[in-house]
Amino acid sequence: MVSIFVPNSTHSINDSTDILLEVFRWAFRRIVCSSLGESAGEAVIFFIKETLRRDPIEVLWENPRAVYDEMVRLFGEGTKILISILILNINREYGLSMDPEYFLELMCNGGQSAINEIRSFIESVAKARGGR
């Protein structure tokens, strides 16, 4: 069994998903820090992780609405701007075309089809980055 180390994570999804999430986690951190600056980006990631009490990428995979709700509690209306910046920069960096407003709708939806679309996007980022 392959295990990807995720700091402070107590949940394991499965081997192939762990690899996808690790690749996406790297891309997410890089994009957030390059978009907001290293210190601000690390602070954003830290606060999201602290409020969720879990790895935010794992929670995004399992329950995107929970990530959105916690971000709104932390950043208010700035959440929409942060997510839009993230998606636009991921699109540019990895040659994808996810509409930021649509991604926000998916995060807020909470239904299984929305979760599956977010998972598909995460997989696309991981594959574009060089994951499985």
Question: pLDDT per residue over 8-33, tens digit each?
Answer: 444 445 678 888 899 889 988 998 89
Contacts of 65 (CB under 8 A, 6+ apart): 107, 108, 109, 110
Contacts of 109 (CB under 8 A, 6+ apart): 65
Phi then psi for residue 25, to 5 deg, are -60, -45
CATH of domain 15-126: 1.10.1200
Write down the pTM of the prediction.
Answer: 0.81
Q: What beta strand segments (E) does 14-97 contain?
A: none
Contacts of 85 (CB under 8 A, 6+ apart): 35, 36
Question: pLDDT per residue over 71-126, tens digit each?
Answer: 999 899 999 999 999 999 999 999 999 999 999 999 999 899 999 999 999 999 98
C-beta of residue 130 within 8 angstroms of C-beta of residue 23: yes
Residue 129: the pLDDT is: 79
Structure tokens at 108: 């807020």
For residue 128, the SS3 value is helix
For residue 48, the SS3 value is helix
Structure tokens at 71: 């971000």
Residue 131: the pLDDT is: 53
